[in-house]
Every structure is written in structure tokens, then in C-alpha cells.
Chains A and B, each alone.
Chain A
Amino acid sequence: GENVEQHPSTLSVQEGDSAVIKCTYSDSASNYFPWYKQELGKGPQLIIDIRSNVGEKKDQRIAVTLNKTAKHFSLHITETQPEDSAVYFCAARLGGGADGLTFGKGTHLIIQP
């Protein structure tokens, strides 16, 4: 099955700086890669996603890049703010239909004031 590795497990950045979180996946058939933000005591909230036919996608301060050849994708957050502090999960999904998401282990992002 699919395996997703995520790094780093903890990331501390100064407010206003950029943060980058990286993930690799194992199955080249995976074609959908969402990123979720999870705040304490809440469910994962989708923040951005990308499909395998696209190399990059941006939404305001958040961007995701995908390198299908290398089987890795990254989340980029620019101009970080205190409210960006949370745990971020990457995920990958094989095919379509009702296939489940395979999640990475998460990155605890800490924004230092």
C-alpha cells in the first residue's frame, strides 16, 4: 500500500518568516495530495490540495508543489502568523472512487512572536 513520510516533525519559525514542510510518497499511482491543518481538539481542516496533473498551486500565503518524478510534495507558508501554529498533515490517495487517504505523521508548526 501507500506510505507517506513527512518532515520535519517539529518546525519553529519566527513570525513573518516562511515555513516549508515536505512529504514523500511511495506509490506512483497516487494522484491526489491534500494538506490538512489540525488545531488542538479539532478535526483536520483542508487548507490546500493538488492533483497529479498540476505542478504547483497557490492560495494567498499557502502554496503546494508536486514533483511526480521524485514522488514528493511540499507545503509552503509565507509571512507566517501566530494563527498558523498547528499540526499540519500531508496525505496521498490512490486512484479515485472511495479510496482512503494515507496520512503523514504530521508537523507541529510553532510560530515564534
Chain B
Amino acid sequence: EPEVTQTPSHQVTQMGQEVILRCVPISNHLYFYWYRQILGQKVEFLVSFYNNEISEKSEIFDDQFSVERPDGSNFTLKIRSTKLEDSAMYFCASSRAGWEKLFFGSGTQLSVL
């Protein structure tokens, strides 16, 4: 069964550093998403992406965040200058169409020290 894959599974960085989280969505999907989950809390929506542009973003997704689809298979989340409070599990998700089911990857655990 096709799945969303994310790399790395765990990323440790120093505060103020830039990080890039990578995702390979399911191949025939057109909508891509990033969510995050702080330890013990609910999953929160960050951003959705369709047709090479951001469709919707939450209040969390401020100027330090950016997303990109650099080629036909990868979808990335960049955090420009990490803060301690960015420590969380980041999930990538994709769907074939905007009204269809979302499939999540296994996540990247980001630890900012």
C-alpha cells in the first residue's frame, strides 16, 4: 500500500539554526499538508499546499516557516531560525483531492536545544 514517507525520523538542532524536514507524498496525490504535534497534545494544522502554492495556513505558520515542492516527488518544510517551542513531531500528509482522505507519514521528531 502506498504511503507518505518522511525523513529524517529524528532531527536535533540548536536554537537559531535552520532545519528542513522532508516528505515524499503518495505519488498520485495533489494536496500536501504539514501538521505538528507537541508532546502529549493534539495534532495541529500548519499549512496546505496545492498547485505549487500555499492554499491555507494557520496562525502557527508564521514568517519563519516556508514550504516548497522542489521537484515532482518531494515536499519540504523549512524552519528558518528554530526556537525551543518548535520542538514537536512534524507530520506530513497528502490527499488525492482536497475533499478526500488525508494520509499521514510517520513524522519527524524535531528537538531544538
Contacts and interface: CB of A to CB of B under 8 A. Distances in A.
Contacts of B48: 98-100
16 contacts: A32-B99, A34-B102, A36-B104, A41-B106, A43-B4, A43-B104, A43-B106, A43-B107, A44-B91, A46-B102, A91-B43, A97-B98, A100-B33, A100-B56, A101-B43, A101-B102
B105 A99 contact: no
Contacts of A46: 101-104
Contacts of A104: 42
Contacts, number: 65
Interface of B is mostly: strand
B44 interface: yes
B50 interface: yes
Interface residues of A, number: 23
A25 interface: no
Given A43-B104, A43-B105, A44-B91, A96 B99 contact: yes
A102 interface: yes
Interface string B80-113: 0000000000010000001101111111000000
Interface string A66-80: 000000000000000
